[in-house]
Amino acid sequence: MNWFLKSFALLHDPPHKALWFEDADYRVYDKNSHEEEAAKLFDEIFKGMGFGGVPGSEESAAVAEADRLAASFDRWALPPSPGNYWVKAKYMINPFGRERREIKKPTPQEFRERLGKFVGEVRRVLEAAKGDERWLYFAFYAAYELAWIKAGLPTLPADTRVPTHSIFDHLYATASMLNWTRGGGCLMVVDLPGIQSILKSARKAGDYRAGSLLVSLVAWRVAWRFMERHGPDILLSPTPRFNPLFYAQLDRRVKGVWGLYAGAMSYYVGKKFGVSQQLPVDEWLHGLIRRSSLFPGTLYLALPECKGEDEAYSYFDEVLKEVLEAARGGEAPNLPFDLGGLDDGVKRVVEAGLKGLESVRYLPIRVAVAYVEEGLRNLEKWTTERFGIDDEVKKLLGGDLRRFLFARLLEMVNERKRRALPKYPSWFDKEGRPRFSQTYKGTWMHSSLDPSQPAVVKFGGVFKDGNLTYDDETHSWLKSLGIEEKKDANLTKVFKPKEALGPVDLIKRALYLRSAKRAGIDSVEVVALNYYYLKHYFDSERCREIKGLVERVLDGEDVEDVFGSSEAADRRLAECKGAGEEPWTPGLEYVVIRADGDNVGKLLRGCLPKEPQMPQDVEVVRDREQFEKDMKHALRVLGAMRETAKHICGGGYLVVPSPAYYAAVSAALMVTAIGDAAIVEKSQGELVFAGGDDLLAFSAKPPSFDIVKETRENYWGEGGFHSLSESYFLPALTAYGRSYSLRVAHAVTDMMSVEVDKAAELLDEAKDRVPGKDALAISTSTGHVGFTKVSAVGSVKAIAEAYARRTLGRNLPYDVEAWGEAAEVEYVLRYLVGRNTDKKELADKVVEAACYVDGRGEKWKNAVELLKALRAWI
């Protein structure tokens, strides 16, 4: 692998190219050529590192080809710059929603000082990899953008004529496309299908997080196997950029990377979301990857050489063995973080249950491959048929249709992924003999959490003195393992009586216990109660005894053992009802929060609601007439996409997906996910996974509305951008909205996996029911469900608070229901609200929340159900 050439591709243009052309005072290393400026900056960064040189003509040609393949579609539309004019950097345009943000340019003197800091920050990281070309490249890839941010340098465009993508989007995409310039490469998708079934085989909230962590770690370690061989640039999605797993993993080999990452992210997660008020940013980020998932189970890899699907299967099997060993309590030096130990009793149970699984592929996998040579074959014909590119447009594009290679390979690999049959776990050999160890007597049985798994351990249960405890057979088995139950007090917290667990159940639970370093598996009872505890609901004299009981539950004891029954718990907890700013009533109900980006598939295909607008209000140096000719040229190319958008996107506008476009999407998803995690956790919620577009979390009832509001705002950023510093920002995914589902369930009497599934089902229904999506479903396990817009979440919260404060009559939904369907829905709603409150503003809030669905009758029914559902927050 030519690690030098990959590094050169990352710096084939100086990251300050936009400023270099604008003013000679920004030309630090060379006054006459921006390529020489880049080359001399490269030399300054790698000086004394045992890495450098000058690329040969073939190597330079490969980088130039990668540069063309990487460029965004709006840059394709422009003719090559004639060099007789330059557009000054003024603002960045969000490529998804067309919002603008001004570029904060430093003065030339400030720039020189900050560029020096940038070089110093990069070199500090490179020192740890000195003399090793592979790890020098990894270190440079990791430190490059982060050091720019930390030095206080601004976001700058790749091309000031169309400032839609940052220079770093383009440079990282160029390094990726270098993999395809010499033939033999491919686009590969490695997918862990059926993730939801892995997640929902859960008894408690911690099981969900454990399942998410397992999928995330396995997918990450497979990605890392490919990256170790070919470099981090091969991972297109999810991106290594801003990905805490990448920096944590690399820091094991190149010390200093993690510190730079935490420093660069301190503004975003520290100042913006207040993380630094609770924990140091680096500690919070490290804890985040231990307990939650930010890394999805689908990988897109741009490989320079392709051995087909077998290579992915081989890496996958190796990683499964690595994770299996970690679950058993063994050393795990290859994981991105250190693992804690397991209690002796838990370890013995896990070892017994996982015996003999080394040859079993216990998670499903699906792989699809599209080869570069395939993509180049008949590329012109495909481009004409797919995008309607005629001879005139081909001419405007300079006749270079290789730029469509990425879009073609993407379409090919996604179609093959759709048709590919997953390889699922096989728990029995061809003769029907089990490939797992059964530790209990009798015929094998299914896991009590997941019927697709055989149970390898079974914990029988009996009631004794009013408490559920292990039966005699279980006591005898535990004794045979050398477990002294009196010394292993946590055993019944981790393995409940009447549980039967399969291999994946055990791996999930053990891995989570080791990574999170917690004594027990977090429960939704803890989720439900922790908010009230931290808000001092139980601090009064009358609640002192109840506070002690709550503390026992928070410490891992079973709520029914502590309070006698769930009904008794709810009665006692309700005695500590809040007041003032906290009018809520404590109890064992919690909220499932499910979110999903709207039209993400369309976004990834390049289907956007707004047509690109070529900038006109810019300052052009020298030949403005030529600039305007170039803009007209570009608009003719972009205009050709209008008709194409009708059959590919069903309307709107089409931007042909490019590597730079994907780099911008992937970076936005990663940063959004981190922001979502910070919002959930500062609200005392429990994050299961955050993928940037999707989200699953559990929370107490009171903060659930604020979590929706703040994560939805985070999805679109501030004015369409995510601010990582005072001057560095990334575009947010503002093309489409994001829909949510809130479902209230009881921690004891409702089955959690059923409620999570129902929340997801109602999320999909909300998108269908609410025009324009950006929808919010509000539901209860008792059967009530109403729909509204996410923008109305403030009104929804106000209604719930009014119920809780009794400033809104709790009989309102039944008054509405008794009235029957009305011709003037909004008028009658206002009248009925007025009969139930003295606060006139509540009528506006009820109307806003209830009337987003179409149809008079549907609006009326929705109003009734929504108002009933919100009573669950009382």
Q: Which of 413-419's residues contact partners 24+ apart within 8 Å by CB, and which partners?
A: 413/187, 413/188, 413/189, 413/300, 413/368, 413/369, 413/370, 414/189, 414/368, 416/189, 416/368, 416/369, 416/370, 417/189, 417/191, 417/366, 417/368
Three-point CA angle 742, 743, 749, nearest 5°: 160
Q: What is the mean pLDDT of residues 827-849?
A: 94
Query: CA nearest 861: which of 787, 783, 766, 758?
Result: 787
| Number of compact structural domains in the chain | 2
* Residues 748, 559 contacting (CB under 8 angstroms): yes
Q: Cα–chain-centroid distance for residue 720? A: 18
Does residue 59 surpass a pLDDT of 80? yes
- Give me the pLDDT at residue 278, please: 65
Distance CA 47, CA 266 (A): 29
Distance CA 511, CA 377 (A): 46
- Give the torsion sign (CA, 30, 35, 38, 44): negative
* Residues 245, 295 contacting (CB under 8 angstroms): yes
**Together in a domain, 417 and 479:** no
- Give me the pLDDT at residue 366, please: 97
**Together in a domain, 346 and 389:** no
Distance CA 167, CA 798 (A): 44
AA identity, residue 193 = P
* Residues 680, 250 contacting (CB under 8 angstroms): no
Q: Where are the beta strands (DSSP E) in 446-543?
A: 457-459, 461-464, 467-470, 499-501
**Together in a domain, 352 and 390:** no
User: pLDDT band at residue 78, thresholds of 50, 70 and 90?
Assistant: confident
**Together in a domain, 325 and 474:** yes
- How, if at all, do strands 738-746 and 775-780 pair? parallel
Does residue 696 surpass a pLDDT of 90? yes
* Residues 495, 486 contacting (CB under 8 angstroms): no
Does residue 496 surpass a pLDDT of 80? yes
**Together in a domain, 441 and 499:** yes
Residue 343: half-sphere exposure toward Cβ, Cα within 13 Å = 21
Q: What is the mean pLDDT of residues 344-358?
A: 94
Does residue 577 surpass a pLDDT of 80? yes
Q: What is the pLDDT of residues 419-432, one digit of tens each?
A: 999 999 999 999 99
Residue 447: half-sphere exposure toward Cβ, Cα within 13 Å = 23
3-state secondary structure of 688: strand
Does residue 518 surpass a pLDDT of 60? no
Does residue 293 surpass a pLDDT of 70? yes
Full 3-state SS string of 32-76? CCHHHHHHHHHHHHHCCCCCCCCCCHHHHHHHHHHHHHHCCHHHH
User: pLDDT band at residue 874, thresholds of 50, 70 and 90?
Assistant: confident
**Together in a domain, 319 and 405:** no
Does residue 310 surpass a pLDDT of 50? yes
Residue 864: half-sphere exposure toward Cβ, Cα within 13 Å = 15
**Together in a domain, 517 and 463:** yes
Boundary-marking domain end, from 501, 521, 541: 521
Q: Cα–chain-centroid distance for residue 244? A: 12
Lowest mean pLDDT, pick from 16-25, 219-228, 549-558, 792-801? 549-558
Is 71 a member of any domain?
A: no
Boundary-marking domain end, from 461, 488, 521: 521
What tokens were used for 659? 């590597």
Is 215 a member of any domain?
A: yes
Is 231 a member of any domain?
A: yes
- Sequence-separated (6 or more) residues with CB below 8 Å from residue 578: 532, 535, 537, 584, 585, 586
Domain containing residue 405: 376-422+601-613+624-656
- Give me the pLDDT at residue 291, please: 82
- Give me the pLDDT at residue 855, please: 73
**Together in a domain, 390 and 412:** yes
- Give me the pLDDT at residue 276, please: 67
Q: What is the pLDDT of residues 98-142, one digit of tens each?
A: 999 999 999 999 999 999 999 999 999 999 999 999 999 999 999
Axis-axis angle for helices 205-230, 503-516 (nearest 10): 80
Does residue 520 surpass a pLDDT of 70? no
Is 385 a member of any domain?
A: yes
Distance CA 221, CA 211 (A): 16
Q: What percent of the chain has pLDDT over 90?
A: 75
Distance CA 811, CA 585 (A): 18
| CATH assignment at residue 476 | 3.30.70
**Together in a domain, 302 and 209:** yes
- How, if at all, do strands 457-459 and 499-501 pair? antiparallel
Between the CA of residue 696 and those of 512, 670, 680, 688, 755, what are the distances in Å?
Answer: 17, 15, 10, 5, 12
What does the buried/exposed string (b/e) look like for 459-468 if buried means 16 or more CB atoms within 10 Å of the residue's CB? bbbeeeeeee
Three-point CA angle 114, 115, 119, nearest 5°: 115
**Together in a domain, 194 and 337:** yes
* Residues 216, 689 contacting (CB under 8 angstroms): yes
AA identity, residue 853 = V
What tokens were used for 578? 């809040």
Query: CA nearest 354: which of 330, 380, 374, 377?
Result: 330
Is 470 a member of any domain?
A: yes
Q: What is the pLDDT of residues 430-460, one digit of tens each?
A: 999 999 999 999 999 999 999 999 999 999 9
* Residues 529, 537 contacting (CB under 8 angstroms): no
AA identity, residue 94 = N
Distance CA 478, CA 796 (A): 51
Distance CA 438, CA 455 (A): 7
Is 862 a member of any domain?
A: no
Q: What is the mean pLDDT of residues 583-590?
A: 96
- Give me the pLDDT at residue 347, please: 94
Is 721 a member of any domain?
A: no
Distance CA 734, CA 319 (A): 36
Boundary-marking domain end, from 521, 553, 571: 521
Q: What is the pLDDT of residues 618-630, one digit of tens each?
A: 899 989 899 989 9
- Give me the pLDDT at residue 769, please: 94
Dihedral angle computed from the Cα positions of residues 675, 680, 683 and 688, in that order, rounded to the nearest 10 degrees: -150
Distance CA 597, CA 715 (A): 9
* Residues 435, 427 contacting (CB under 8 angstroms): yes
User: pLDDT band at residue 75, thresholds of 50, 70 and 90?
Assistant: confident
Distance CA 608, CA 650 (A): 10
Is 576 a member of any domain?
A: no
Helices (H) then strands (E): counts for the chain: 37, 22
- Give me the pLDDT at residue 829, please: 93
User: pLDDT band at residue 519, thresholds of 50, 70 and 90?
Assistant: very low
Distance CA 226, CA 609 (A): 36
**Together in a domain, 402 and 480:** no
**Together in a domain, 445 and 383:** no
Does residue 521 surpass a pLDDT of 60? no
